Structure 1
Amino acid sequence: MSFSDTELAVVRTAAEREGMASAAWAGRQVMAVAQHVLVPVSRDAGDVLRELVQARVHLREIVAELRAVAAAGPSGAGLPESAAIVVEAALAAVVRVDEATVQVMRERRPRS
């Protein structure tokens, strides 16, 4: 494999972040792509994927907070029905974001 100076700098940075030699890191990535474990996506799809992952994390934090409120509830009585509906809606949103994230990860750039 050969890289431009800019590409090599990116590879070195990524390898250092994971405590690996550049060649080992690049080899692991190449094998992951070859084995369809890691699917390369376009820059735009990568941006969308990052947004989905951030939204997923945020939604899970909201769900955790809602569950904590539910457990505490007034006098341990739990959530009123309207709050329970909100928790279920948040859980459904997490599922939809998870599904969208997986879909973006499965999409591949056309290989030309």
Structure 2
Amino acid sequence: MNLSFNDAELEVVRLAAEREGMSPGSWAGRQVMAVAQHLLVPVSRDAGDVLRELVQARVHLRETVTALRALTATGASGDGVPEPAATVVEEALKAVARVDAATVQVMRERRPRS
């Protein structure tokens, strides 16, 4: 079986697999089996839209952190990142962590079984 993901989807799969100490392929296979066995119910369409937004926001935040680190590395006076820039990088990293947590929460949403 072949699975195909766009970059944002693959990032979600990679992070979920990493969190559980698995390869992305093994993690995806386990999820497919869980859905097939009705142990896992996929998220609703609305939740999927929210998840896509969260993934895009996460990717943008990561790119922002990378750009900030590059700027602060070139602007430092030899003794590390300037304090205001270090604070901005830390706040951006906290924002990434919040988006990650929100993404995981949406991924765990289950439709009620009837």
1:102 Cα deviation (Å)?
0.5
Contact residue 39 and residue 106 of structure 1 kept, 8 A: no
- Give the aligned partner of residue 45 of structure 1: 47
- Give the aligned partner of residue 93 of structure 1: 95
1:73 Cα deviation (Å)?
1.6
**Cα-Cα RMSD:** 2.4
- Give the aligned partner of residue 83 of structure 1: 85
TM-score, length basis structure 1 = 0.66
Aligned pairs for 1:45-64 (under 5 A) are: 45-64=47-66
- Give the aligned partner of residue 105 of structure 2: 103
Stretches of structure 2 lacking an aligned partner (at least 5 in a row)? 5-28
Superposed structure 1 runs of 4+ greater than 4 Å apart:
none
Deviations 1:52-98 (A, max 9, x none): 00000000000011111121124444432111111000000000100
- Give the aligned partner of residue 74 of structure 2: 72
Higher radius of gyration, 1 or 2: 1
Contact residue 72 and residue 78 of structure 1 kept, 8 A: no
In structure 1, how many angstroms separate the alpha carbons of the residues matched to 2:38 and 2:75? Answer: 49
TM-score, length basis structure 2 = 0.65
1:46 Cα deviation (Å)?
0.4
In structure 1, how many angstroms separate the alpha carbons of the residues matched to 2:75 and 2:87? Answer: 15
